[in-house]
Amino acid sequence: MVIFLISYLIGSIPFGLILTKMNGIDVKKVGSGNIGATNVLRTGSKKMAIATLFLDSLKGFIAVYATQNICNDHTSLAAIAVILGHMFPVWLEFKGGKGIATTIGVLLAINLYVSTIFICTWAIVFITSRYSSLSSLIAVLVSTMASLFYFKNALVALIVATPLIIIRHHENIIRLMKREEHKFCAKKVN
């Protein structure tokens, strides 16, 4: 229970919101209103977006890596808790990010191969489609399938993360199906 709580609290640190507020911007009033790196990039600051991506990934990595070194039997619990913390942070009335960067951090700590599959899949789909949401959805599904057949140590975290990520992207999925999803553009949104 302690590992779950600490991991959840680590995950619930809203770095995108903190970084943008420090620069006089409320990321919740920009673009999609999401606190993740993709929406932070829509504020026009690549540095803040990269910092958000790094810090959101780092919190996933730290929660899992620390648990592996303290009590390896609870690694999956820490992975699930830190992702839940990011998606449903207590500080923001349980309205957080979509979990992609934090999931990458979790996977980096659990299995380097799966994290590489995730990152490469995301990059390939994004380069060809310019849809961040589609890239995220395909990357998490491909990573889950890879874990199912080859890298079972990442499977528990992905079995929980994948449906949550899909649910958090439900509006994007509807827009993709209607062909109304906007291709990614780093220009500032008012």
CA dihedral sign of residues 113, 117, 123, 127: positive
Task: Specify the pLDDT at position 185.
Answer: 59
Q: Is the pTM of this model over 0.75?
A: yes
DSSP character at residue 30: S
Report the C-alpha gap between 27 and 9 in whole angstroms: 21
Question: Looking at residues 144-159, what average pLDDT do you find?
Answer: 85
Cβ proximity of 103 and 147 under 8 Å: no
Domain boundaries, the chain: 2-177
What are 70-87's pLDDT values in tens digits? Answer: 887 888 899 999 999 999
Cβ proximity of 22 and 104 under 8 Å: no
Q: What's the distance, Cα to Cα, between the start and end of the chain in Å?
A: 43
